[in-house]
Chain A
């Protein structure tokens, strides 16, 4: 699904990622953990194609194809989804309208027929139960005035609607209380699928107790310094990141 080879990325001339290698197969869930400033968000943003990140070296293959050649909207249409750490508010744009535009843009790109209003709403109703989304949120503008938990649920609802092949969850647990975290995690778990890969970027282990990863990677100073299974996350929780960085040094 996703192969990252020796990826080097600069931001404003400063090297942030210094040779990342990662292989994610279909159906797998990978957690990328690391202290602040280790390059976790940079990795998410580069995969999604955000402006301001310069790839100086290395390759990213997605479904065997060079991912970096595509514009951000094309990547989305090809099945790459990023759940934002800070979902953006768009005043005056209705949440449902936005989602319908997104769903149909992607369907169009993939050569599928656009969904009409009836089919769309039916699908929407079904997916909303995944994240226990309240109907009233549909009438509001995209993320405007949403609480932290509502925003993150909205992200997962979008993920459910857009049906991506590769989902990158950037600090999805940040700003969530324990109940909201559980709802969001359950939503994600129901979206786990043999044909879908999930890359979770997180600072804390707690998300991983709810969404149990197949692999855990530790990112430090722009490199993956240790990989393992879910037990690695537990070890990190216990000992902190200092242990790893010292061990590597």
Chain B
């Protein structure tokens, strides 16, 4: 979200609650208007969650919890609830004790260590918690190191720095961030970050096909402009919208991601493109299309996370895990000896 590098000259209102600089040309007036109504919603949701958390603490999966999650998890409960609904708690219980510290003490290939080190100062450089000597960089290093040691098949993939970094900002806890990162990469997302990134490339193709069925005119337009889908949406999927969308919107998406897994990633992208469909169709050349596309995530439509998520969840009910599995399977069998560069 960074536009200008003014991190040494901060005013509170330049920075969001997670320490991110607001973008240049940020529409404070409209944001305040949105926040005045969103704060009421937050207070209301918070009360409901208080009751829910007091009641069982087991957070049974079901319609109630699903509805609660879709409407947003209060920031004070996020770490705890994410751990539960994602299965990270379960994972932690069934692993050897103190896996995190064991991994921290393992030996890692120097190339991997170097790759992580290189990206540390380049992760959220304008976030006030990530400025050097603020400690978050070293915590982030340890999370990424531990994960790379835990899953040598993945090691370190650029993009994980943003995910782990945001997890750390939200949970304020290294070990919890490690477990959430682990459950995301190992269980929730299908092979996005391994050496060949096959699962990611398949999901980009799945996204293209969903666009084709939901917005055939737009799909044809993208095709006629010769724009590869990976150029358009790869970062969305690699970073799970972190470093793309405003922070609160990303966290609302992650609330759903930890609960329902992949469908939310597709629903979000489709909803956003659909909202800008006419504008995009009006772009008659490659450059103008990309320019509009790049600006979409900064629109007030996305910033108003509550309304945005309402639209996301109501418009795309047909996108389910079952549908995604079916499409992934189709694509895999169509392109057996799959090479990344044959993909969209």
A binds B: no
Which A residues have a C-beta under 8 Å from some C-beta of B? none
Which B residues have a C-beta under 8 Å from some C-beta of A? none
